[in-house]
Structure 1
Amino acid sequence: MSTPEKTRRPDALTMEVVELIGDVVARFYADYELAAGEHALTGPQARLLSLLSLEPLPMRKLAQKLKCEPSNVTGIVDRLETRGLVERRPDPADRRVKLAAATDEGLRVARDLREGLRFAREPLAGLSAEERGALRDLLRRMLDA
Structure 2
Amino acid sequence: MSTPHKTRPDALTMEVVELIGDVVARFYSDYEDAAAEYALTGAQARLLNLLSLEPLPMRKLAHKLKCEPSNVTGIVDRLEGRGLVERRPDPADRRVKVAAVTDEGQRVARDLREGLRFAREPLAGLSHQERESLRELLRRMLGVDTAS
Higher helix share: 1
Q: Mind listing any 5+ residue stretches in structure 2 that lack a counterpart?
A: none
Equivalent position amino acid for 2:84 in 1: L
Q: What residue is the counterpart of 1:61 in the other structure?
A: 60
User: Using the alignment, how far apart are the partners of 1:57 and 1:11 within structure 2?
Assistant: 41
Q: Distance in 2 between the 1:24 and 1:138 partners? A: 15
Once the two structures are superposed, the pairs formed by residues 22-41 of structure 1 within 5 Å of their partners are 22-41=21-40
Could you tell me which residue of structure 1 aligns to residue 120 of structure 2? 121
2:116 partner letter: L
* C-alpha separation in 1, matches of 2:25 and 2:57: 28
State the TM-score, normalized to the length of structure 1.
0.95
Partner of 1:143: 142
Aligned amino acid, residue 7 of structure 2: R
Q: Which amino acid in the other structure matches residue 138 of structure 1?
A: L
SS in 1 for 2:87: strand
TM-score using structure 2 length:
0.93
Q: Using the TM superposition, give the Cα deviation of residue 107 of structure 1 relative to its aligned residue in structure 2, in angstroms.
A: 0.1
Aligned to 1:11: 10
- Structure 1: 5+ residue runs without aligned partners? none
- Report the residue type matching 2:46 in the other structure: R
Letter paired with 2:42:
G
Q: How far apart are the structure 2 equivalents of 1:104 and 1:78?
A: 17
In the TM superposition, structure 1's runs of 4+ consecutive aligned residues that sit over 4 Å from their partners are none
- Kindly state the Cα deviation for residue 11 of structure 1 after the two structures are TM-superposed: 0.7
Q: Which residue of 2 aligns with 1:83?
A: 82
In structure 1, give the amino acid aligned to 2:82.
R
Q: Structure 1: how far apart are the matches of 2:141 and 2:96?
A: 33
- Partners of 1:16 and 1:59 in 2: CA distance: 38
1:134 corresponds to which residue? 133
CA offsets 1:30-83 (integer angstroms, 9 cap, x no match):
000000000000000000000000000111111111111111000000000000
Partner of 1:70: 69
